[in-house]
């Protein structure tokens, strides 16, 4: 099973241009409390390098392209984002990195909560340790 | 007083690129229930040409530029959108149009509610009539 959950958006296009609309609890499987966009992304640098404890996110390249890397602590997988009608869900406890930005890349993210530094895991060994613990508790919990 | 309420966003930029984050009830004065983006906008065509009964929106040109026209039924005003750290509030009962899109324009809108055709006023004479009624009730209401 892929680490990536792709969400396809409806794109309405005619001679005037294109429009993509994302609605909470419909296209977006959470309440949208934060929206952020990145531009002028330098392909010499990679971004991300963190996971979230709780926050869910939906990412899309509105224009241009980049490569997203997902890592659940065991498997590592890459996905090329190059379509404005295709988003990627970033679930909690998923280490993610972004790279190979095209010059025209506009990277848009919708998040399920406002910024909270305490929700970030920025140290990779800590992330692997936490995800291993969670995996064990998930497998061995008598309640499951 | 201008018809336009401009909201300035914090833009975090370094050699890696720029990031602008918008949060509900902070930068954005409402709950974000819908997000839409327009690209490939043809400068030969104008868009918008409607007002909303209830829905509030916050619009920004993430890249490129365009001109927004606001009309409250009495006054008509134009504003050039050309900055990713400056948004414009579109309040209810404000007729709005968008034009003069640059080739690289990415027009992003955050809305206070999901799509509802019943919330749209698409006929300009009807809009003027409704806004005149609202203005009169606002001025002459004994409760005010």
User: ipTM of this predicted complex?
Assistant: 0.93
Instruction: Compute the Cα dihedral for A39, A40, A43, A48 and give only its sign.
Output: negative
Is B123 within 8 Å of B81 (Cβ atoms)? no
Distance CA B14, CA A128 (A): 29
CA distances from A67 to A70, A107, A120, B12, B23 (A): 10, 11, 21, 22, 26
Q: State the catalytic residues of A.
A: 50
Average pLDDT of chain B, as a whole number: 95
Average pLDDT of the residues in A25-49? 97
Residue in B33, B38, B62 nearest the CB of A19? B38
Distance CA A103, CA B130 (A): 46
State the CB neighbour count (10 A cutoff) for residue B39.
23
Residues 6+ apart with CB under 8 A from B93: B51, B52, B53, B72, B73, B127, B130, B131, B134
Question: In this predicted model, what pLDDT tens digit does every residue of B58-99 receive, in sequence order?
Answer: 999 999 999 999 999 999 999 999 999 999 999 999 999 999
Distance CA B110, CA B56 (A): 8
- pLDDT over 60 (residue A144): no
User: Which of A39, A50, A61 to mutate against chain B (most B CBs within 10 Å)?
Assistant: A39
- pLDDT over 60 (residue B143): no
Residue ranges of chain A whose CB lies within 8 Å of a chain B CB: 13, 15-24, 26, 28, 31-42, 45, 47, 62-63, 84, 101, 104, 106, 108, 110, 114-115
Question: In this predicted model, what pLDDT tens digit does every residue of A63-86 receive, in sequence order?
Answer: 999 999 999 999 999 999 999 999
Q: State the catalytic residues of B.
A: 50
Distance CA A41, CA B108 (A): 18
Q: Looking at CA atoms only, how far is residue B95 from chain A in angstroms?
A: 19
Average pLDDT of chain A, as a whole number: 95
Average pLDDT of the residues in B88-115? 98
Percentage of the residues of chain A whose pLDDT score is greater than 70: 95
pTM score, two decimals?
A: 0.94
Task: Tell if the CB–CB gap between A101 and B21 is shorter than 8 Å.
Answer: no
Instruction: Compute the Cα dihedral for B69, A11, B63, B22 and give only its sign.
Output: positive
pLDDT grade for B139, boundaries at 50, 70 and 90? low
Q: Partners of B22 in the beta sheet? A: A35
Average pLDDT of the residues in A34-52? 97
Q: Residue A38: closest CA among chain B residues belongs to which residue?
A: B19
Predicted local distance difference test score (pLDDT) of residue B141: 52
pLDDT grade for A1, boundaries at 50, 70 and 90? confident
- pLDDT over 80 (residue A20): yes
Whose tokens are 């995800």? That residue is A131
- pLDDT over 60 (residue A140): no
Q: 3-class DSSP state for residue A17? A: strand
Predicted local distance difference test score (pLDDT) of residue B137: 85
Q: Looking at CA atoms only, how far is residue A141 from chain B in angstroms?
A: 36
Is A63 within 8 Å of B38 (Cβ atoms)? no
In this structure, of A10-24, A95-109, A128-142, B94-108, the range with the lowest mean pLDDT score is A128-142
Q: Looking at CA atoms only, how far is residue A105 from chain B in angstroms?
A: 10
Is A129 within 8 Å of A95 (Cβ atoms)? no
- pLDDT over 50 (residue B144): no
Is B114 within 8 Å of A23 (Cβ atoms)? yes
- pLDDT over 80 (residue A141): no
């Amino acid at each position: 099973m892929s680490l990536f959950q792709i969400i396809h958006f409806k794109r309405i296009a005619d001679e005037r241009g294109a429009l993509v609309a994302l609605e909470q609890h419909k296209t977006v499987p959470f309440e949208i409390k934060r929206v952020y966009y990145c531009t002028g992304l330098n392909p010499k640098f990679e971004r991300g390098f963190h996971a979230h404890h709780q926050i869910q996110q939906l990412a899309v390249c509105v224009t241009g392209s980049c490569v997203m890397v997902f890592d659940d602590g065991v498997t590592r997988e890459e996905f090329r984002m190059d379509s404005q009608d295709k988003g990627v869900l970033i679930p909690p406890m998923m280490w993610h990195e972004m790279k190979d930005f095209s010059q025209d890349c506009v990277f848009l993210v919708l998040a399920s909560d406002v910024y909270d530094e305490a929700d970030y895991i920025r140290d990779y060994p800590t992330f692997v340790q936490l995800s291993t613990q969670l995996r064990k508790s998930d497998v061995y919990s008598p309640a499951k």
